[in-house]
Amino acid sequence: MNEIELKYGCNPNQKPARIYMQDGGDLPVTVLNGRPGYINFLDALNGIQLVMEMKAATGLPSATSFKHVSPAGAATGKELSDIERKIYRVEDDDELTPLAAAYARARGADRMSSFGDFISLSDICDVATAKLIKREVSDGIIAPGYEPEALEILKAKKKGNYNIIQIDSNYKPDPIEHKQVFGITFEQGHNDALFNADSFKDIVTKNKALTADAINDLIISMITLKYTQSNSVCYVKNGQAIGIGAGQQSRIHCTRLAGDKADKWWLRHAPQVLALPFKEKIGRADRDNAIDLYTGEDQKDLLADGTWENFFTKKPDVFSKEEREAFIAKNTDVALGSDAFFPFGDNIERAAKSGVKYIAEPGGSIRDDNVIETCDKYGIVMAFTGVRLFHH
């Protein structure tokens, strides 16, 4: 098949809409179920590149959760701790294959942003992964294949309308790509930048102790940024993105946004959050919204009389700003990537508040000296990659 008709484009008024191969050849994707839309395919085709590259770079099954053409989460299939199982909403009796663990971590990092996501998997979707996906609100999935039972589980989602796409894992895009804006055709070479340990050899700070785990996290950060709408910044820890700031006009706003998300991720590990007395039948989305409020500045809205009763069996204690800041300070060894250079040291100041110890960025700012000096102030290791990763 060389064409798939879509319901509409980005918006309902944008018709007709389709995807097709300009050379008349067959599409590398097959729709196994549902009717994916224009944005679904944008998410799917960006996400599948991300996870394939992450799998190739780390050797681990990988998953990403996309929303509006940027990842909300991305992760490799490392084993989950007991606390991670709880905060990622994995049940005690759930089987976790490496692929299922990757999905749980990608979906769980920023559950608010991942609501209604499009999932990409690096490997054939197995039953364990499908069972985790089954209980989440999601628009669709793309993978190189599906185990028969897994496919049937997924087909049952959304009253049988769940979008399921299979991609030919051997597909290679043309080295020259095109797109149109306002009737004008743009042409550029496909972004073939790849990352490995050699990408971070140009360490410009006094501290040069870049560990193997840190290198792995920086690789994940760079690959994630490659498919994130610019400007973008990505915090990574233990093989997964924990905070992604996408599409901001100012880099410091990217750093703050991603840092705030990383802090929220870490605060979900706090005893105060783990012990929240939720009602037994509270919905998954309602629970996520409540945790988001409880770990932020709007906590008083959640704990107001007449409101907390909707979520909890008893009123939780206040999680004070001082308590939150003290717990955030316990987060360490976080890696941070930026898709372009940091223009000012204020980005480093903000990153340090979220436990960042390793940074990778292209370099090339006229204020590189100021940025390096700020890294040295906090003992941060920073490597210049020389590779910019704008994505639009």
> Scanning the structure block, which residue is given the tokens 């090339």?
364
Determine the Cα–Cα distance for residues 354 and 358; give it in Å rounded to an integer.
12
The structure tokens listed for 20 are 């097709």
Report the phi/psi class of residue 333: left, alpha or beta, with left for phi > 0 and alpha for psi in -120 to 50: left
- Kindly give the interhelix angle for 346-353 and 251-267, rounded to the nearest 10 degrees: 10
Provide the terminal-to-terminal Cα distance of the chain, rounded to the nearest Å: 28
The structure tokens listed for 148 are 């028969």
> Scanning the structure block, which residue is given the tokens 């785990």?
213
Q: Residue 201, class by beta-carbon neighbours within 10 Å (0-12 exposed, 13-18 middle, 19+ buried)?
A: exposed
Concerning whether 392 is annotated as a catalytic residue, the answer is yes
The structure tokens listed for 311 are 């979520």
Q: Residue 100, class by beta-carbon neighbours within 10 Å (0-12 exposed, 13-18 middle, 19+ buried)?
A: buried
Whole-angstrom CA distances from 342 to 94, 345, 383 are: 42, 7, 12
Nearest alpha carbon to residue 83 among 62, 105, 59, 103: 105
Choose the catalytic residue: 33, 40, 55, 67: 67
Choose the catalytic residue: 33, 46, 231, 331: 231
Going by their DSSP bridges, the two strands 334-338 and 117-121 should be labelled as unpaired
Determine the Cα–Cα distance for residues 89 and 105; give it in Å rounded to an integer.
10
Concerning whether 68 is annotated as a catalytic residue, the answer is yes
Whole-angstrom CA distances from 312 to 90, 279, 284, 289 are: 20, 5, 13, 13
How many residues are present in the chain? 392
> Contacts for 167-176 with beta carbons within 8 Å, 24 or more apart?
167/28, 167/29, 167/30, 167/44, 167/48, 167/142, 167/143, 168/28, 168/29, 168/144, 169/52, 169/144, 169/145, 171/28, 174/23
| Residues with a known catalytic role | 67-68, 231, 392
